[in-house]
Chain A
Protein backbone atom coordinates (compact mmCIF):
# COMPACT_ATOMS: atom_id res chain seq x y z
CA UNK A 1 0.00 0.00 0.00
CA UNK A 2 2.79 2.40 0.95
CA UNK A 3 4.64 1.61 -2.24
CA UNK A 4 1.45 2.15 -4.21
CA UNK A 5 0.84 5.56 -2.59
CA UNK A 6 4.41 6.54 -3.33
CA UNK A 7 4.30 5.26 -6.92
CA UNK A 8 4.89 7.52 -9.86
CA UNK A 9 1.28 7.54 -11.09
CA UNK A 10 -0.25 8.16 -7.67
CA UNK A 11 2.28 10.94 -7.10
CA UNK A 12 1.29 12.52 -10.40
CA UNK A 13 -2.35 12.16 -9.45
CA UNK A 14 -1.85 13.90 -6.09
CA UNK A 15 0.24 16.73 -7.50
CA UNK A 16 -2.22 17.12 -10.37
CA UNK A 17 -5.17 17.15 -8.00
CA UNK A 18 -3.49 19.86 -5.97
CA UNK A 19 -3.01 22.05 -9.02
CA UNK A 20 -6.37 20.98 -10.47
CA UNK A 21 -8.55 22.18 -7.62
CA UNK A 22 -7.01 25.64 -7.99
CA UNK A 23 -7.66 25.58 -11.74
CA UNK A 24 -11.18 24.41 -10.98
CA UNK A 25 -11.67 27.27 -8.55
CA UNK A 26 -10.57 29.87 -11.11
CA UNK A 27 -12.75 28.20 -13.76
CA UNK A 28 -15.67 28.26 -11.32
CA UNK A 29 -15.21 31.99 -10.74
CA UNK A 30 -15.23 32.56 -14.51
CA UNK A 31 -18.44 30.57 -14.87
CA UNK A 32 -20.05 32.58 -12.05
CA UNK A 33 -19.41 35.83 -13.91
CA UNK A 34 -20.44 34.38 -17.23
CA UNK A 35 -23.71 33.12 -15.80
CA UNK A 36 -24.43 36.36 -14.00
CA UNK A 37 -23.65 38.85 -16.74
CA UNK A 38 -22.64 36.95 -19.91
CA UNK A 39 -19.25 38.57 -19.89
CA UNK A 40 -16.02 36.61 -20.27
CA UNK A 41 -13.85 38.21 -17.67
CA UNK A 42 -10.34 38.10 -19.10
CA UNK A 43 -9.17 40.18 -16.14
CA UNK A 44 -10.38 37.56 -13.64
CA UNK A 45 -6.86 36.26 -12.95
CA UNK A 46 -5.39 39.75 -12.75
CA UNK A 47 -8.12 40.91 -10.37
CA UNK A 48 -7.38 37.91 -8.16
CA UNK A 49 -3.64 38.64 -8.29
CA UNK A 50 -4.27 42.26 -7.35
CA UNK A 51 -6.46 41.28 -4.39
CA UNK A 52 -3.79 38.84 -3.18
CA UNK A 53 -1.20 41.64 -3.35
CA UNK A 54 -3.43 43.98 -1.35
CA UNK A 55 -3.73 41.38 1.40
CA UNK A 56 -0.17 40.06 1.34
CA UNK A 57 1.46 43.49 1.24
CA UNK A 58 0.37 43.75 4.89
CA UNK A 59 2.99 41.11 5.66
CA UNK A 60 5.51 43.98 5.50
CA UNK A 61 3.74 45.54 8.46
CA UNK A 62 4.03 42.39 10.56
CA UNK A 63 0.40 41.46 10.09
CA UNK A 64 -0.12 37.71 10.53
CA UNK A 65 -0.62 35.42 7.52
CA UNK A 66 -4.24 34.55 8.25
CA UNK A 67 -5.22 38.21 8.62
CA UNK A 68 -3.56 38.88 5.27
CA UNK A 69 -5.66 36.11 3.73
CA UNK A 70 -8.81 37.63 5.21
CA UNK A 71 -7.89 41.07 3.86
CA UNK A 72 -7.07 39.59 0.43
CA UNK A 73 -10.47 37.92 0.23
CA UNK A 74 -12.29 41.05 1.40
CA UNK A 75 -10.28 43.06 -1.15
CA UNK A 76 -11.33 40.53 -3.79
CA UNK A 77 -15.01 40.83 -2.87
CA UNK A 78 -14.87 44.63 -2.90
CA UNK A 79 -12.86 44.75 -6.10
CA UNK A 80 -15.50 42.64 -7.88
CA UNK A 81 -18.30 44.95 -6.77
CA UNK A 82 -16.50 48.14 -7.71
CA UNK A 83 -15.45 46.73 -11.09
CA UNK A 84 -19.02 45.78 -11.91
CA UNK A 85 -20.47 49.12 -10.87
CA UNK A 86 -17.81 51.36 -12.43
CA UNK A 87 -16.56 49.47 -15.46
CA UNK A 88 -18.75 46.53 -16.43
CA UNK A 89 -22.15 48.19 -16.00
CA UNK A 90 -21.48 50.34 -19.06
CA UNK A 91 -20.89 47.26 -21.19
CA UNK A 92 -24.26 45.55 -20.79
CA UNK A 93 -26.16 45.37 -24.05
CA UNK A 94 -23.15 46.48 -26.09
CA UNK A 95 -21.73 44.38 -28.98
CA UNK A 96 -19.94 41.27 -27.70
CA UNK A 97 -16.52 42.51 -28.73
CA UNK A 98 -16.71 45.52 -26.37
CA UNK A 99 -16.48 43.67 -23.06
CA UNK A 100 -13.73 41.45 -24.47
CA UNK A 101 -11.59 44.43 -25.46
CA UNK A 102 -12.27 46.25 -22.20
CA UNK A 103 -11.51 43.25 -19.98
CA UNK A 104 -8.29 42.41 -21.85
CA UNK A 105 -7.28 46.05 -21.45
CA UNK A 106 -8.17 45.89 -17.76
CA UNK A 107 -5.96 42.78 -17.39
CA UNK A 108 -2.98 44.65 -18.91
CA UNK A 109 -3.68 47.71 -16.77
CA UNK A 110 -3.85 45.74 -13.50
CA UNK A 111 -0.61 43.89 -14.23
CA UNK A 112 1.10 47.18 -15.10
CA UNK A 113 -0.12 48.83 -11.90
CA UNK A 114 0.94 45.82 -9.81
CA UNK A 115 4.41 45.90 -11.42
CA UNK A 116 4.73 49.63 -10.72
CA UNK A 117 3.56 49.42 -7.12
CA UNK A 118 4.97 46.09 -5.94
CA UNK A 119 7.71 45.38 -8.52
CA UNK A 120 8.19 42.49 -10.93
CA UNK A 121 10.44 40.38 -8.77
CA UNK A 122 7.87 38.47 -6.79
CA UNK A 123 7.09 38.58 -3.12
CA UNK A 124 7.58 35.57 -0.93
CA UNK A 125 4.44 34.42 0.79
CA UNK A 126 4.79 32.31 3.93
CA UNK A 127 3.29 28.86 4.00
CA UNK A 128 0.79 28.32 6.79
CA UNK A 129 1.64 24.63 7.06
CA UNK A 130 4.67 22.48 6.35
CA UNK A 131 5.46 21.98 2.67
CA UNK A 132 7.46 18.81 3.35
CA UNK A 133 5.75 15.79 1.83
CA UNK A 134 4.39 13.21 4.20
CA UNK A 135 6.47 10.10 4.88
CA UNK A 136 4.82 6.76 5.29
CA UNK A 137 7.12 3.94 6.47
CA UNK A 138 10.09 5.54 4.75
CA UNK A 139 8.21 6.21 1.49
CA UNK A 140 7.40 9.74 0.35
CA UNK A 141 3.77 10.49 -0.49
CA UNK A 142 3.55 13.40 -2.93
CA UNK A 143 1.43 15.61 -0.71
CA UNK A 144 2.31 17.91 2.18
CA UNK A 145 0.17 19.32 5.00
CA UNK A 146 0.23 22.62 3.10
CA UNK A 147 -0.97 20.90 -0.06
CA UNK A 148 -3.77 19.16 1.80
CA UNK A 149 -4.86 22.45 3.37
CA UNK A 150 -4.97 24.08 -0.07
CA UNK A 151 -6.97 21.25 -1.62
CA UNK A 152 -9.46 21.30 1.25
CA UNK A 153 -9.73 25.12 1.20
CA UNK A 154 -10.38 25.17 -2.55
CA UNK A 155 -12.95 22.39 -2.35
CA UNK A 156 -14.77 23.96 0.60
CA UNK A 157 -15.04 27.30 -1.22
CA UNK A 158 -16.20 25.58 -4.41
CA UNK A 159 -18.81 23.52 -2.58
CA UNK A 160 -20.07 26.57 -0.69
CA UNK A 161 -20.54 28.37 -4.01
CA UNK A 162 -22.39 25.48 -5.59
CA UNK A 163 -24.62 25.07 -2.52
CA UNK A 164 -25.33 28.81 -2.49
CA UNK A 165 -26.41 28.78 -6.13
CA UNK A 166 -28.40 25.58 -5.99
CA UNK A 167 -30.11 25.51 -2.64
CA UNK A 168 -30.60 29.03 -1.30
CA UNK A 169 -33.10 31.75 -2.10
CA UNK A 170 -30.24 34.13 -2.78
CA UNK A 171 -28.78 31.66 -5.28
CA UNK A 172 -32.19 31.29 -6.91
CA UNK A 173 -32.35 35.05 -7.40
CA UNK A 174 -28.77 35.21 -8.68
CA UNK A 175 -29.57 32.58 -11.30
CA UNK A 176 -32.93 34.10 -12.20
CA UNK A 177 -31.44 37.58 -12.62
CA UNK A 178 -28.89 36.13 -15.00
CA UNK A 179 -31.20 34.12 -17.26
CA UNK A 180 -34.40 36.17 -17.14
CA UNK A 181 -33.77 39.72 -15.92
CA UNK A 182 -37.10 41.21 -16.94
CA UNK A 183 -39.23 38.40 -15.51
CA UNK A 184 -37.14 38.49 -12.33
CA UNK A 185 -37.82 42.19 -11.88
CA UNK A 186 -41.55 41.56 -12.34
CA UNK A 187 -41.27 39.10 -9.45
CA UNK A 188 -39.58 41.65 -7.22
CA UNK A 189 -35.95 40.49 -7.63
CA UNK A 190 -33.48 43.38 -7.44
CA UNK A 191 -31.67 42.36 -10.61
CA UNK A 192 -29.09 45.12 -10.63
CA UNK A 193 -27.96 44.16 -7.11
CA UNK A 194 -27.83 40.51 -8.07
CA UNK A 195 -25.49 41.22 -10.98
CA UNK A 196 -23.17 43.18 -8.70
CA UNK A 197 -23.35 40.41 -6.12
CA UNK A 198 -22.41 37.87 -8.80
CA UNK A 199 -19.23 39.84 -9.51
CA UNK A 200 -18.51 40.30 -5.80
CA UNK A 201 -18.74 36.58 -5.07
CA UNK A 202 -16.83 35.55 -8.17
CA UNK A 203 -14.01 37.97 -7.50
CA UNK A 204 -13.82 36.74 -3.88
CA UNK A 205 -13.48 33.15 -5.11
CA UNK A 206 -10.72 34.31 -7.48
CA UNK A 207 -8.88 35.94 -4.56
CA UNK A 208 -8.92 32.66 -2.63
CA UNK A 209 -7.43 30.93 -5.67
CA UNK A 210 -4.71 33.58 -6.02
CA UNK A 211 -3.75 33.31 -2.34
CA UNK A 212 -3.39 29.55 -2.77
CA UNK A 213 -1.34 29.87 -5.96
CA UNK A 214 0.92 32.53 -4.42
CA UNK A 215 1.75 30.43 -1.39
CA UNK A 216 2.48 27.35 -3.37
CA UNK A 217 3.63 27.51 -6.94
CA UNK A 218 6.66 29.27 -8.40
CA UNK A 219 8.34 32.38 -7.04
CA UNK A 220 5.56 33.55 -4.73
CA UNK A 221 3.38 36.50 -5.63
CA UNK A 222 4.16 38.19 -8.96
CA UNK A 223 2.10 40.48 -11.22
CA UNK A 224 1.79 37.67 -13.76
CA UNK A 225 1.02 35.09 -11.07
CA UNK A 226 -2.36 34.10 -12.43
CA UNK A 227 -1.64 34.20 -16.18
CA UNK A 228 -0.92 30.49 -16.59
CA UNK A 229 -3.58 29.23 -14.14
CA UNK A 230 -6.08 31.59 -15.75
CA UNK A 231 -5.29 30.36 -19.27
CA UNK A 232 -5.75 26.71 -18.27
CA UNK A 233 -8.86 27.56 -16.23
CA UNK A 234 -10.32 29.41 -19.18
CA UNK A 235 -9.89 26.36 -21.38
CA UNK A 236 -11.29 24.14 -18.62
CA UNK A 237 -14.34 26.37 -18.25
CA UNK A 238 -14.96 26.21 -22.00
CA UNK A 239 -14.57 22.43 -22.02
CA UNK A 240 -16.76 21.93 -18.96
CA UNK A 241 -19.36 24.33 -20.28
CA UNK A 242 -19.54 27.99 -19.35
CA UNK A 243 -23.01 27.51 -17.92
CA UNK A 244 -22.05 24.72 -15.55
CA UNK A 245 -20.32 25.36 -12.19
CA UNK A 246 -19.83 21.62 -11.60
CA UNK A 247 -18.51 21.25 -15.14
CA UNK A 248 -15.93 23.98 -14.59
CA UNK A 249 -14.81 22.41 -11.35
CA UNK A 250 -14.56 18.87 -12.71
CA UNK A 251 -12.85 20.01 -15.92
CA UNK A 252 -10.43 22.14 -13.86
CA UNK A 253 -9.42 19.17 -11.72
CA UNK A 254 -9.12 16.97 -14.82
CA UNK A 255 -6.90 19.52 -16.54
CA UNK A 256 -4.68 19.83 -13.45
CA UNK A 257 -4.18 16.07 -13.35
CA UNK A 258 -3.66 15.91 -17.10
CA UNK A 259 -1.06 18.67 -16.86
CA UNK A 260 0.95 16.81 -14.23
CA UNK A 261 0.97 13.58 -16.24
CA UNK A 262 2.03 15.47 -19.36
CA UNK A 263 4.85 17.21 -17.48
CA UNK A 264 6.00 13.94 -15.95
CA UNK A 265 5.72 11.60 -18.94
CA UNK A 266 6.25 14.01 -21.85
CA UNK A 267 7.43 17.56 -21.45
CA UNK A 268 5.91 20.70 -19.95
CA UNK A 269 5.93 22.29 -23.42
CA UNK A 270 3.09 19.97 -24.39
CA UNK A 271 0.70 21.14 -21.67
CA UNK A 272 -0.98 23.92 -23.61
CA UNK A 273 -0.85 21.99 -26.85
CA UNK A 274 -2.80 19.13 -25.34
CA UNK A 275 -5.18 21.42 -23.43
CA UNK A 276 -5.99 23.37 -26.58
CA UNK A 277 -6.32 20.12 -28.54
CA UNK A 278 -8.87 18.90 -26.00
CA UNK A 279 -10.71 22.22 -26.31
CA UNK A 280 -10.91 21.98 -30.10
CA UNK A 281 -12.18 18.40 -29.97
CA UNK A 282 -14.82 19.20 -27.35
CA UNK A 283 -15.98 22.32 -29.17
CA UNK A 284 -16.40 20.29 -32.35
CA UNK A 285 -18.40 17.54 -30.69
CA UNK A 286 -20.28 19.47 -28.00
CA UNK A 287 -20.00 23.24 -28.57
CA UNK A 288 -21.95 23.99 -25.38
CA UNK A 289 -19.34 22.13 -23.31
CA UNK A 290 -19.40 18.71 -21.71
CA UNK A 291 -21.54 19.48 -18.68
CA UNK A 292 -23.99 22.10 -19.88
CA UNK A 293 -27.49 20.73 -20.04
CA UNK A 294 -28.91 21.83 -23.33
CA UNK A 295 -32.34 23.31 -22.80
CA UNK A 296 -34.68 23.03 -25.72
CA UNK A 297 -36.11 26.39 -26.61
CA UNK A 298 -39.27 27.14 -28.46
CA UNK A 299 -38.65 28.91 -31.74
Chain B
Protein backbone atom coordinates (compact mmCIF):
# COMPACT_ATOMS: atom_id res chain seq x y z
CA UNK B 1 0.00 0.00 0.00
CA UNK B 2 1.13 3.52 -0.74
CA UNK B 3 0.06 6.19 1.71
CA UNK B 4 0.55 9.86 0.84
CA UNK B 5 0.09 12.31 3.71
CA UNK B 6 0.05 16.10 3.54
CA UNK B 7 2.20 16.21 0.40
CA UNK B 8 3.16 19.65 -0.96
CA UNK B 9 5.43 20.42 -3.90
CA UNK B 10 6.46 23.85 -5.19
CA UNK B 11 8.26 24.92 -8.35
CA UNK B 12 9.59 28.27 -7.16
CA UNK B 13 6.56 30.39 -6.35
CA UNK B 14 4.15 27.97 -8.02
CA UNK B 15 2.49 25.46 -5.71
CA UNK B 16 2.04 22.33 -7.80
CA UNK B 17 0.65 20.22 -4.95
CA UNK B 18 -0.83 21.42 -1.65
CA UNK B 19 -1.47 19.14 1.29
CA UNK B 20 -2.37 16.08 -0.79
CA UNK B 21 -3.34 12.93 1.14
CA UNK B 22 -4.71 9.60 -0.10
CA UNK B 23 -4.07 5.86 -0.02
CA UNK B 24 -3.58 3.44 -2.88
CA UNK B 25 -4.54 -0.06 -1.79
CA UNK B 26 -2.50 -3.15 -2.63
CA UNK B 27 -3.72 -5.11 -5.64
CA UNK B 28 -5.94 -2.35 -6.97
CA UNK B 29 -5.91 0.51 -9.43
CA UNK B 30 -6.10 4.04 -8.03
CA UNK B 31 -6.91 6.63 -10.68
CA UNK B 32 -5.60 10.16 -10.33
CA UNK B 33 -7.61 12.43 -12.58
CA UNK B 34 -8.06 16.12 -13.16
CA UNK B 35 -7.56 18.85 -15.73
CA UNK B 36 -4.24 19.97 -17.20
CA UNK B 37 -2.02 21.49 -14.56
CA UNK B 38 -3.87 19.82 -11.69
CA UNK B 39 -0.60 18.30 -10.43
CA UNK B 40 -1.09 14.69 -11.54
CA UNK B 41 2.33 14.20 -13.08
CA UNK B 42 3.98 16.09 -10.22
CA UNK B 43 2.39 13.64 -7.79
CA UNK B 44 3.98 10.65 -9.53
CA UNK B 45 7.30 12.47 -9.83
CA UNK B 46 7.22 13.18 -6.11
CA UNK B 47 6.61 9.49 -5.31
CA UNK B 48 9.66 8.59 -7.44
CA UNK B 49 11.70 11.44 -5.88
CA UNK B 50 12.21 13.16 -9.22
CA UNK B 51 10.93 16.28 -7.43
CA UNK B 52 11.47 16.99 -3.74
CA UNK B 53 8.35 17.72 -1.70
CA UNK B 54 8.35 20.81 0.53
CA UNK B 55 6.22 18.96 3.07
CA UNK B 56 4.49 15.65 3.63
CA UNK B 57 5.24 11.95 3.73
CA UNK B 58 5.04 9.05 1.30
CA UNK B 59 4.99 5.58 2.75
CA UNK B 60 5.29 2.24 0.92
CA UNK B 61 4.28 -0.71 3.11
CA UNK B 62 5.90 0.91 6.14
CA UNK B 63 8.99 2.25 4.31
CA UNK B 64 9.36 6.02 4.20
CA UNK B 65 10.11 7.13 0.62
CA UNK B 66 10.68 10.87 1.14
CA UNK B 67 14.42 11.44 1.37
CA UNK B 68 15.32 8.33 -0.63
CA UNK B 69 16.89 8.64 -4.08
CA UNK B 70 15.01 7.84 -7.28
CA UNK B 71 17.32 4.86 -7.87
CA UNK B 72 16.65 3.39 -4.44
CA UNK B 73 12.90 3.86 -4.75
CA UNK B 74 13.02 2.01 -8.08
CA UNK B 75 15.02 -0.78 -6.43
CA UNK B 76 12.38 -1.01 -3.68
CA UNK B 77 9.96 -2.14 -6.36
CA UNK B 78 8.33 1.05 -7.59
CA UNK B 79 8.02 0.96 -11.38
CA UNK B 80 7.34 4.29 -13.09
CA UNK B 81 6.31 4.65 -16.73
CA UNK B 82 6.80 8.36 -17.35
CA UNK B 83 4.75 10.67 -19.52
CA UNK B 84 5.95 10.50 -23.11
CA UNK B 85 6.92 6.87 -22.38
CA UNK B 86 10.67 7.27 -22.05
CA UNK B 87 11.82 4.32 -24.12
CA UNK B 88 15.49 4.69 -25.01
CA UNK B 89 15.36 5.11 -28.78
CA UNK B 90 19.06 4.39 -29.31
CA UNK B 91 18.66 0.99 -27.65
CA UNK B 92 17.12 -2.11 -29.14
CA UNK B 93 13.92 -3.43 -27.64
CA UNK B 94 15.87 -6.19 -25.94
CA UNK B 95 18.39 -3.72 -24.50
CA UNK B 96 15.56 -1.59 -23.12
CA UNK B 97 14.13 -4.67 -21.43
CA UNK B 98 17.54 -5.81 -20.16
CA UNK B 99 18.01 -2.42 -18.53
CA UNK B 100 14.61 -2.73 -16.90
CA UNK B 101 15.41 -6.17 -15.51
CA UNK B 102 18.84 -5.28 -14.08
CA UNK B 103 17.66 -4.12 -10.68
CA UNK B 104 14.51 -6.20 -10.49
CA UNK B 105 13.49 -9.32 -8.61
CA UNK B 106 13.42 -11.71 -11.55
CA UNK B 107 16.01 -13.23 -13.84
CA UNK B 108 16.15 -11.60 -17.25
CA UNK B 109 15.30 -14.73 -19.20
CA UNK B 110 12.20 -15.56 -17.15
CA UNK B 111 11.07 -11.93 -17.18
CA UNK B 112 11.65 -11.66 -20.90
CA UNK B 113 9.51 -14.72 -21.61
CA UNK B 114 6.72 -13.24 -19.45
CA UNK B 115 6.80 -9.92 -21.25
CA UNK B 116 6.90 -11.50 -24.70
CA UNK B 117 3.82 -13.49 -23.74
CA UNK B 118 2.03 -10.28 -22.70
CA UNK B 119 3.27 -8.26 -25.67
CA UNK B 120 4.04 -10.63 -28.56
CA UNK B 121 4.83 -7.77 -30.95
CA UNK B 122 7.95 -6.98 -28.89
CA UNK B 123 9.36 -10.45 -29.45
CA UNK B 124 9.08 -10.15 -33.21
CA UNK B 125 11.05 -6.92 -33.14
CA UNK B 126 13.41 -7.56 -30.26
CA UNK B 127 16.57 -6.67 -32.21
CA UNK B 128 15.19 -3.42 -33.62
CA UNK B 129 15.91 0.00 -32.23
CA UNK B 130 13.11 1.36 -30.07
CA UNK B 131 13.18 4.52 -32.20
CA UNK B 132 11.56 2.53 -35.01
CA UNK B 133 8.47 1.61 -32.96
CA UNK B 134 5.04 3.18 -33.32
CA UNK B 135 3.40 5.06 -30.45
CA UNK B 136 1.43 2.05 -29.27
CA UNK B 137 4.45 -0.24 -29.47
CA UNK B 138 6.52 2.24 -27.48
CA UNK B 139 3.86 2.23 -24.80
CA UNK B 140 3.96 -1.55 -24.69
CA UNK B 141 7.74 -1.51 -24.46
CA UNK B 142 7.69 1.08 -21.66
CA UNK B 143 5.15 -1.05 -19.77
CA UNK B 144 7.08 -4.26 -20.36
CA UNK B 145 10.30 -2.59 -19.23
CA UNK B 146 8.65 -1.54 -15.98
CA UNK B 147 6.96 -4.90 -15.43
CA UNK B 148 10.00 -7.06 -16.15
CA UNK B 149 11.47 -5.99 -12.80
CA UNK B 150 8.39 -7.45 -11.08
CA UNK B 151 7.53 -4.22 -9.26
CA UNK B 152 5.09 -4.15 -6.36
CA UNK B 153 3.90 -0.68 -7.37
CA UNK B 154 3.38 0.66 -10.88
CA UNK B 155 3.04 4.39 -11.55
CA UNK B 156 1.53 5.03 -14.98
CA UNK B 157 1.55 8.54 -16.39
CA UNK B 158 -0.99 9.03 -19.20
CA UNK B 159 -0.59 5.57 -20.75
CA UNK B 160 -3.44 6.21 -23.19
CA UNK B 161 -1.93 9.39 -24.62
CA UNK B 162 -1.89 9.13 -28.41
CA UNK B 163 -3.13 5.54 -28.46
CA UNK B 164 -6.09 4.16 -30.36
CA UNK B 165 -9.03 3.36 -28.03
CA UNK B 166 -8.74 -0.36 -28.76
CA UNK B 167 -5.07 -0.43 -27.80
CA UNK B 168 -5.85 1.53 -24.63
CA UNK B 169 -8.58 -0.95 -23.70
CA UNK B 170 -6.15 -3.82 -24.24
CA UNK B 171 -3.53 -2.16 -22.03
CA UNK B 172 -6.04 -1.49 -19.28
CA UNK B 173 -7.15 -5.10 -19.36
CA UNK B 174 -3.53 -6.20 -18.94
CA UNK B 175 -3.09 -3.83 -15.99
CA UNK B 176 -6.22 -5.16 -14.29
CA UNK B 177 -5.06 -8.74 -14.69
CA UNK B 178 -1.67 -7.93 -13.19
CA UNK B 179 -3.34 -6.33 -10.18
CA UNK B 180 -5.19 -9.54 -9.52
CA UNK B 181 -2.51 -12.11 -10.36
CA UNK B 182 0.51 -10.31 -8.92
CA UNK B 183 -1.09 -8.13 -6.23
CA UNK B 184 0.28 -5.13 -8.09
CA UNK B 185 -0.58 -1.67 -6.76
CA UNK B 186 -1.23 0.74 -9.62
CA UNK B 187 -1.50 4.52 -9.54
CA UNK B 188 -2.89 5.55 -12.90
CA UNK B 189 -2.68 9.19 -13.96
CA UNK B 190 -5.06 9.96 -16.79
CA UNK B 191 -6.42 12.92 -18.64
CA UNK B 192 -9.13 10.67 -20.05
CA UNK B 193 -11.19 10.51 -16.85
CA UNK B 194 -13.91 8.17 -18.07
CA UNK B 195 -11.57 5.38 -19.13
CA UNK B 196 -9.56 5.75 -15.92
CA UNK B 197 -12.70 5.57 -13.77
CA UNK B 198 -13.84 2.45 -15.59
CA UNK B 199 -10.62 0.56 -14.90
CA UNK B 200 -9.98 1.74 -11.33
CA UNK B 201 -11.49 0.83 -7.97
CA UNK B 202 -10.65 4.12 -6.35
CA UNK B 203 -10.18 7.66 -7.70
CA UNK B 204 -8.51 10.85 -6.51
CA UNK B 205 -9.59 14.03 -8.27
CA UNK B 206 -6.96 16.78 -8.24
CA UNK B 207 -7.80 20.39 -8.87
CA UNK B 208 -5.08 23.07 -8.89
CA UNK B 209 -2.85 20.91 -6.72
CA UNK B 210 -5.46 20.04 -4.10
CA UNK B 211 -7.56 16.93 -3.59
CA UNK B 212 -11.06 17.83 -4.75
CA UNK B 213 -12.46 14.33 -4.25
CA UNK B 214 -11.24 10.96 -2.98
CA UNK B 215 -13.72 8.13 -3.27
CA UNK B 216 -14.67 4.87 -4.97
CA UNK B 217 -14.45 5.26 -8.72
CA UNK B 218 -18.13 4.57 -9.35
CA UNK B 219 -19.11 7.26 -6.83
CA UNK B 220 -16.84 9.79 -8.57
CA UNK B 221 -18.13 8.75 -11.98
CA UNK B 222 -21.73 9.36 -10.91
CA UNK B 223 -21.19 12.67 -9.13
CA UNK B 224 -22.67 15.37 -11.38
CA UNK B 225 -20.78 18.22 -9.67
CA UNK B 226 -17.40 16.55 -9.95
CA UNK B 227 -18.04 15.69 -13.56
CA UNK B 228 -19.09 19.20 -14.36
CA UNK B 229 -16.63 21.29 -12.39
CA UNK B 230 -13.45 19.25 -12.26
CA UNK B 231 -13.51 16.72 -15.03
CA UNK B 232 -15.01 18.90 -17.76
CA UNK B 233 -17.35 16.17 -18.90
CA UNK B 234 -20.58 17.00 -20.68
CA UNK B 235 -23.89 15.54 -19.51
Residue of B70, B87, B89, B131 with most partner-chain A CB within 10 A: B70
Binds B, one of A9-17, A51-59, A187-195, A277-285: A187-195
Q: What 1/0 mask marks residues of chain B from 111 to 146 whose CB sits below 8 Å from any chain A CB? A: 000000000000000000101000000000000010
Q: Is the CB of A183 within 8 A of B86?
A: yes
Q: Is the CB of A187 within 8 A of B99?
A: yes
Within 8 A of B (CB), among A260-299: 295-297
Q: Is the CB of A190 within 8 A of B99?
A: no
In whole angstroms, how far apart are the Cα atoms of A89 and B88 in the complex? 24
Determine if A215 is an interface residue (Cβ-Cβ < 8 Å).
no
In whole angstroms, how far apart are the Cα atoms of A264 and B95 in the complex? 47
In whole angstroms, how far apart are the Cα atoms of A122 and B102 in the complex? 48
Chain A residues with Cβ under 8 A from B80's Cβ?
186
Binds B, one of A21-29, A77-85, A140-148, A173-181: A173-181
Chain B residues with Cβ under 8 A from A296's Cβ?
131
Count how many pairs of residues, one from A and one from B, have CB atoms less than 8 Å apart in the complex: 64
Determine if B75 is an interface residue (Cβ-Cβ < 8 Å).
yes
Determine if A62 is an interface residue (Cβ-Cβ < 8 Å).
no
Q: Given that A186-B48, A186-B80, A188-B75 are contacting pairs, would A176 and B103 also be in contact in the complex, using a CB cutoff of 8 Å?
A: no
**B contact residues, range:** 20 to 34
Q: What 1/0 mask marks residues of chain B from 72 to 110 whose CB sits below 8 Å from any chain A CB? A: 001100001010001111110001001110111000000
Q: Given that A172-B102, A173-B99, A176-B88 are contacting pairs, would A297 and B74 also be in contact in the complex, using a CB cutoff of 8 Å?
A: no
In whole angstroms, how far apart are the Cα atoms of A286 and B89 in the complex? 21
Among the listed A179, A180, A188, which residue makes an inter-chain contact with B71, where contact means beta carbons less than 8 Å apart?
A: A188
Determine if B50 is an interface residue (Cβ-Cβ < 8 Å).
yes
Q: Is the CB of A169 within 8 A of B98?
A: yes
Residue of A188, A191, A296 with most partner-chain B CB within 10 A: A188
Q: Is the CB of B131 within 8 A of A187?
A: no
Q: Given that A187-B102, A188-B102, A296-B131 are contacting pairs, would A182 and B75 also be in contact in the complex, using a CB cutoff of 8 Å?
A: no
In whole angstroms, how far apart are the Cα atoms of A175 and B88 in the complex? 10
Q: What 1/0 mask marks residues of chain A from 209 to 241 whose CB sits below 8 Å from any chain B CB? A: 000000000000000000000000000000000
Determine if A184 is an interface residue (Cβ-Cβ < 8 Å).
yes
In whole angstroms, how far apart are the Cα atoms of A216 and B75 in the complex? 49
In whole angstroms, how far apart are the Cα atoms of A201 and B75 in the complex? 26
Chain A residues with Cβ under 8 A from B50's Cβ?
182, 185-186
Q: What 1/0 mask marks residues of chain B from 143 to 163 whose CB sits below 8 Å from any chain A CB? A: 001000100000000000000
Q: Is the CB of A179 within 8 A of B131?
A: no
Q: Is the CB of A190 within 8 A of B86?
A: no
Q: Is the CB of A169 within 8 A of B82?
A: no
Among the listed A172, A183, A184, A188, which residue makes an inter-chain contact with B98, where contact means beta carbons less than 8 Å apart?
A: A172
Closest Cβ–Cβ distance, residue B163 to chain A (whole Å): 15
Q: Is the CB of A189 within 8 A of B86?
A: no
In whole angstroms, how far apart are the Cα atoms of A175 and B102 in the complex? 14
Q: Is the CB of A176 within 8 A of B91?
A: yes
Within 8 A of A (CB), among B35-93: 48, 50, 69-71, 74-75, 80, 82, 86-91
Chain A residues with Cβ under 8 A from B100's Cβ?
187
User: What are 7 A-B contacts with C-beta separation under 8 Å?
Assistant: A172-B102, A183-B87, A184-B99, A185-B69, A187-B145, A188-B71, A295-B131
